Amino acid sequence: MKQIKTKIISNRLIGPMCYHMVLEAPSVARAIKPGQFIHVRCSDSFEPLLRRPFSLHRKNGGRIEILYKVVGSGTEILSRRQSGEAVDVLGPLGNGFAPKLSTLNSQLSTILVAGGMGVAPLVALAQELSKKKTQKLRVLIGACSKSRILCEEEFRALGAEVSISTEDGSKGAKGLITDRLNFLLSTLNSQLSTIYACGPNAMLKALSRIANAKRIPCQVSLEERMACGVGACLGCPVKVKAGEYKMVCKDGPVFDAEEIAW
């Protein structure tokens, strides 16, 4: 983990209140893995006081990219930051996805399931998985409407087969992304499938039940409010089946879906 000043290369609007930021951060880029995150100080003042966590969206050489949605004062300030400015970054933090790249084969179906802004860390994972050309990579993206679908072309450029679901039917299949997952799994050998997912907790809970019923390995990246980002403040607990609590920032944000007490 490092605390560094990073240069903003670009910060652009890509959807309704959704932004894509590129940072020059060679030391972080060398160490960060898909599913891990950085903790960003949104302004140079004490307002807002707390940093904001953003998962690795993808990396390119010494540059890292993040996606974020404006939902409060911190992200609103960040959306106004300009190219050439510097932001204070802490990272990499947390534990990321753990794909067994060495065991992938042509029979394995790797399924990435993204709900809304849950696409953010899954592009980095797809980028890593695409280095191995032997597995079939399938991506399911769900959102409330067409305007909220992000990163479709990024996944396709990485060689993934992409399916879209929208709740209002404005793009792709009408319905929930879990409906689409059930349909896909009905066409596959579930014993040769692995699921990686990120999105709203309700979606992850439903997805976990599907994976458990079909005995499919499943890793989920949890979305949670964070303060310190390193497990010291105990502000982002998640209950696990062992009867204890783990911290999303330190022990996650990626967990085995079977471990969580949904």
Is residue 102 very low, low, confident or very high in pLDDT (cuts 50, 70, 90)?
very low
What is the helix (H) or strand (E) element at residue 90, kind and residue range? strand 86-93
Which residue's structure tokens are 């458990």? 212
Q: What is the mean pLDDT of the chain?
A: 93
61-99 residues labelled b (16+ CB within 10 A) or e (exposed):
eebbbbbbbbeeebbebbbebeeeeebebbbbbbbbbeb
User: What pLDDT, in 10s, does the model give residues 220-243?
Assistant: 999 888 899 999 999 999 999 998
Q: What is the pTM of this model?
A: 0.93
What is the architecture of the domain spanning 2-93? Answer: Beta Barrel (2.40)
Is residue 107 very low, low, confident or very high in pLDDT (cuts 50, 70, 90)?
low
What is the 3-class SS of 102-142, one letter each residue? HHCCCCCEEEEEEEHHHHHHHHHHHHHHCCCCCCEEEEEEE
CA distance 212 to 257: 8
For the chain, the structural domain boundaries read: 2-93, 101-259
Quick one: pLDDT at residue 134? 59
Q: For the domain bounded by 101-259, which CATH number is listed?
A: 3.40.50.80
CA distance 23 to 43: 15
Is residue 136 very low, low, confident or very high in pLDDT (cuts 50, 70, 90)?
confident
> Is 79's pLDDT higher than 90?
yes
User: What pLDDT, in 10s, does the model give residues 19-37?
Assistant: 999 999 999 999 999 999 9
